Every structure is written in structure tokens, then in C-alpha cells.
Amino acid sequence: MISEKMQNAFLDQINKELYSEYLYLSMKAYFTSLNLNGFANWMDCQVKEERAHAMGMFDYVLERGGNVELEAIEKPDTKWASPLAVFKQVLSHEEYVTSRINALMDVADETKDRAALIFLNWYLKEQVEEEATAGGILAQLELIGDDKHALFALDKELAQRVFNPPVIG
């Protein structure tokens, strides 16, 4: 059985993961409005990935005998100055999510919930990958600067991303 403290920490993180889905959905709309369909595709994959992350935690809480109560999701940003500005926010957001996973692991440590620690290890590894990927795209955008040809080449590259449902846990 999951402790109330651990359950509440997971419920808070589920909300943050659903916010991440919402944020990336908003970013997809932004890129679609710019006709940068490869960037929009990349964001669409992120949307699906964040939903999978939230549902993994959702199912975990239920599997451990907990109760899930969903809270309102904060409204995400809807406007950005440029693709570079978007990816600065993506990296910052992923770093925030990493800090949240670490805090969740701290609660698992505090409550001596070894099962939660094992479960959360997957999320921590995923966050390392998320930060590296976002940081790599951000670095490319910084190098591109105002070069529209390079921007369209990156857009074409990002169009190749395919969502593969993660195996969580």
C-alpha cells in the first residue's frame, strides 16, 4: 500500500506531467502557425510522451492501492518570440521536471518506499535524455541564428521523429 504522503507527491507530479503535455501541445500549435511542421511533429511526440509519463504514474498509484484525484491543469504559454525562445523554455522546463522527479525520489527515500524508488529510476533516466535532447536542439538553434535555410533543414530533420510508446518501470 502506498503511503498518503507518497500518493500526494505522485498526484502532484501527475499534474505536472499533464501540464507538460499541455505546454508541448501549445508549442505544437505555435510551430504549426509558423508552418514549421517538423518542429510541430517533434512537439507532438513530446505531447504523447508526457501523457505516457503521467499515465505511468497514474497507473502506479492505482496499482499500489492509492486513490487518484486530478486537479486543474495550469494554462501554458501560447506565444513565443521565436523557435529559439521555445527551446529555451523547453530546456528550462525539462530541468524543472528533473528537479520534481528528484523531489519525488526524496519523498520515496523519506518514506522508505523502495518500490517507488525503483519505479522512479526510469523517470530519472528519461529526464537525463530529455534534457540532452532539448539542449542539443537549443544549441543547433543558437548556431543557426537567422539562417532560414538552416532552420528549414532542422525542421526537416525534426519531422523524422516518431513517437515510440515508452515501457515505463
What cell numbers appear for 115 in the block? 518500490
**% pLDDT > 70, the chain:** 100
Helices (H), 34-147: 37-63, 83-110, 114-144
Cα 28 to its chain centre, rounded Å, is 13
CB-CB contact of 54 with 18 (8 Å): yes
What cell numbers appear for 35 in the block? 508552418
pLDDT digits (tens, 9 = 90+) for 36-81: 999 999 999 999 999 999 999 999 999 999 999 999 999 999 999 9
The domains found in the chain, sorted by start residue, are 4-68+80-158 (1.20.1260.10)
DSSP-assigned states of every residue in 119-168: HHHHHHHHHHHHHHHHHHHHHHHHHHTT-HHHHHHHHHHHTT--------
Distance CA 69, CA 14 (A): 10
The residue count of the chain comes to 169
Confidence band, pLDDT 50/70/90 cuts, at residue 8: very high
Rounded to the nearest integer, the mean pLDDT of the chain is 98
